[in-house]
């Protein structure tokens, strides 16, 4: 399985720390955020990795190179001319991701979930890892029924962790490789056709999207 790390964001909420440094290279416990993501994939024997880059992306390429120093193989999907948001970035990278399901993780998320267990159930085009709602998203994103079926959020809701596995066909109705496109509308499309599944995870998870959450991650992550 191929893994993709989303690393093209501007990191505006992390300012001023990201004024001259791309957010994926900000360090938690003296390790760059994107290294945490690479390590999680490598532990799951996912060593073919695609990384999309945009803001200060050359710094990321210079830091990681071809991945050989980290025991992986890295290809880059360059969005330096036009950052495409989450779904748009994945669509642009599809030629590098092959024709089988692939894992996608946000570069600003820390999680101890074993990615080798992340699989795409039969009948699903996307499978999401859902976690307890953090303070910054108290209403959650989705709910679960029948073990793995994802539905719109109800009274028992969860937050999308930023970790999921997708089949290329999930994106087949959206083929413009230069169009900005968020992921949530596509998730709702799959949800409406019962092709979106998920699982609930109670382990360690931390979004590192603001200086305050960075401080929390540095204090709590062991």
What local confidence, expressed as pLDDT, does residue 216 receive? 86
pLDDT over 70 percentage in the chain: 99
The domains located in the chain, with CATH, are 3-220 (3.90.550.10)
Is residue 183 within 8 A of residue 105, CB to CB? The reply is no
Distance CA 144, CA 153 (A): 8
pTM metric for this prediction: 0.95
Name the nearest CA neighbour of 27 among 182, 188, 221, 166. Answer: 221
pLDDT tens digits along 119-146: 999 999 999 999 999 998 999 999 999 8
Name the nearest CA neighbour of 1 among 44, 43, 38. Answer: 44
Residue range 208-218: average pLDDT?
88
pLDDT-derived band of residue 168, with 50, 70 and 90 as boundaries?
very high
What local confidence, expressed as pLDDT, does residue 22 receive? 95
Name the nearest CA neighbour of 69 among 33, 103, 40, 42. Answer: 42
Name every residue whose Cβ is closer than 8 Å to that of residue 81 and which is 6 or more positions away in sequence.
Answer: none
Distance CA 131, CA 133 (A): 6
Tokens of 134: 């953090």
Tokens of 156: 């028992």
């Amino acid at each position: 399985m191929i893994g993709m790390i989303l690393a093209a964001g501007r990191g505006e909420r992390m300012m001023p720390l990201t004024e001259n440094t791309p957010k994926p290279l900000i360090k938690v416990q003296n390790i760059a955020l994107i290294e945490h993501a690479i390590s999680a994939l490598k532990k799951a024997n996912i060593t073919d990795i695609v990384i999309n880059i945009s803001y200060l992306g050359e710094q990321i390429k210079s830091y990681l190179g071809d991945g050989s120093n980290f025991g992986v193989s890295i290809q880059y999907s360059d969005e330096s001319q036009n950052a495409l948001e989450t779904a748009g970035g994945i669509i642009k990278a599809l030629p590098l991701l092959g024709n089988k399901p692939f894992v996608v993780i946000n570069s600003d998320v820390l999680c101890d979930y074993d990615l080798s267990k992340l699989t795409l159930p039969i009948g699903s085009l996307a499978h999401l890892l859902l976690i307890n709602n953090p303070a910054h998203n108290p209403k959650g994103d989705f709910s679960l029924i029948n073990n793995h079926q994802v539905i719109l959020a109800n009274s028992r809701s969860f937050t999308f962790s930023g970790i999921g596995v997708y089949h290329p066909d999930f994106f087949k109705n959206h083929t413009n490789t230069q169009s900005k496109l968020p992921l949530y509308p596509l998730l709702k499309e799959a949800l409406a056709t019962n092709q979106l599944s998920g699982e609930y995870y109670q382990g360690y998870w931390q979004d590192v999207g603001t200086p305050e959450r960075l401080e929390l991650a540095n204090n709590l992550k062991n």
